[in-house]
Amino acid sequence: MPDTSPRRHHEIVIVGGGFSGLGTAIALRKAGFDDLLIVDDGDGPGGTWQWNTYPGVAVDIPSFSYQFSFAQRSTWSRSYAPGRELRAYAEQIVDEYGLAPHLQFGTRVHGASFDAPSATWSISTSAGDVTARWLIHAGGPLSQPKLPDFEGIDTFEGATMHTSRWNHEVSLAGKRVGIIGTGATAVQVVPEIAPEVDHLTVFQRTPIWCLPKPDFPLGRMGRASLETVPGVRQIARLASQAFVEATFPVLAHFHKWVPATAALQVAARRYIDAQVHDPATRDALTPTYALGCKRPSFHNSYLSTFNRDNVSLQTTSIEAITPGGIRTSDGVQHELDVLVLATGFKVTDRDALPTYPLTSAYGTDLAEHWDAERFHTYQGVATAGFPNFFTVFGPYGYNGASFFTLVENSAAHIVRVLTEARRRRATFAEVTSAAQEQYMSAILARRSWQVFTDPTCAGANSYYFTANGDVPFRASTTPEAAWRSRRFPLADYAFGGRAG
């Protein structure tokens, strides 16, 4: 067993033991940075895949893309792997790259502050305090459950669970179950639990575009081909990356120049028409906003589940949660035994990015700073005014492609800065305000290209939009983002101090 008690000081502390933290740690160790500690408040590696164990949990992009480019796996059971295989993949990564001695689980970060004279971060955790030269936040945006604030939610006498904290001790067999939400998680949960419950009521605020999912078992021969036949794995990944690129980054960020949304919406409507029998239910499940305002979901049985006699769709707004169920605004009481909250995550909430107070040497709180500056960053990795601090999944860094591609891009950026600091024997590195604003100006100049400017997006209720109406995505193709993450001018950073 590794020693899990933190040393007083590490060169690098990474907050988050999901794939963001693991991928960044691997890149750093390859570059010769071995004095690092990864802290995570979960029980094991994998981040969101450790927390999310709800029925039907699976990746929503092909497995050939949802993995590191340097650690491609040939043993996926399906083209869209189930959650348990992602948890196993995380454990495999830890073992293969020797990360176990650097990992400390069951540790929650309470706060972090930067001391300018010593150029170090002081990090307060549930397992004691630790200092670090460099602090990397790799918590990810889908880690903090967003709980609804309906009147009476604490009075419900049945079992209540958020999908990201699924209670497997609660049996749904023969129960009257209500699920609030019809986002990406609900799309996976609804068809999985419908056959076992007595009745399932789905409470929908906003419908989601749902397209057929090219999901199929890989089988023994398929896995053998990926493992042994030259070029098969590379071709599968290339095709997968092209599919992912076409279904979101190109669709969303180059909407003005690649007007494919209308044609894709026609196909999506035809899919809904073919899947849902009842005309009223079909209409209720058809979005009125442009495809791309939210990330579209892919599933082969979500829509058809509403044809079941024991499944009903409720679109009347929720007035209150009662001891016996849910009362909608039309006065109807929906009696329930179990309430499932598929209400998503805090993404740009001030208490979620990051989940702990983080204070710069100038006394500035990061959450307050991002709120005031509308989440301006440099490539989603660095923030002017916050030296020696990096984010793996920061605002204006993600373009909507494979999450693993983003991690590799961010890690490459961080490694480049830290390698230069080491070469200079510098103890301090901070992106300049001029470089950050130049980057932001270039990104924001592309806003008119994006689908998010479509007036119908106002009715999408998408977590993409901040309270100010901004969408902090990196408006670029994936190849462009990868290129710039590895070739930005080092002069965009100010380096200072000198190591002893």
pLDDT of residue 3: 47
Q: How many CB atoms lie within 10 A of CB 477?
A: 16
pLDDT of residue 140: 77
C-alpha to C-alpha distance for 329 and 318, rounded to whole angstroms: 6
Identity of the amino acid at 407? V
C-alpha to C-alpha distance for 369 and 388, rounded to whole angstroms: 16
What does pLDDT average to in each consecutive run of 10 residues of the chain (500 residues)? 61 98 99 98 94 96 96 95 97 98 97 97 97 95 82 96 96 98 96 99 97 94 91 93 90 83 90 98 96 91 98 98 98 98 80 84 92 95 98 92 95 99 97 98 94 88 86 94 97 86
The β-bridge relationship of strands 325-328 and 333-335 is antiparallel
Q: What are phi and psi of 185, to 5 degrees?
A: -70, -45
| Residue whose tokens read 């702990």 | 356
Whole-prediction pTM: 0.95
Identity of the amino acid at 385? G
pLDDT of residue 351: 63
| Domains annotated on the chain, with CATH | 9-144+347-496 (3.50.50.60), 153-214+240-341 (3.50.50.60)
C-alpha to C-alpha distance for 176 and 77, rounded to whole angstroms: 33
The CA distances from residue 489 to 277, 395, 493, in Å, are 57, 20, 8
SS3 74: coil
C-alpha to C-alpha distance for 74 and 78, rounded to whole angstroms: 10
pLDDT of residue 352: 59
pLDDT of residue 350: 65
DSSP string, 272-328: HHHH--SHHHHHHTS-SSPTTSSPPEE-SSTGGGGGSTTEEEE-SPEEEEETTEEEE
Identity of the amino acid at 27? A
The CA distances from residue 316 to 102, 178, 319, 376, 407, in Å, are 50, 14, 9, 38, 40
C-alpha to C-alpha distance for 313 and 272, rounded to whole angstroms: 15
pLDDT of residue 1: 39
C-alpha to C-alpha distance for 453 and 413, rounded to whole angstroms: 30
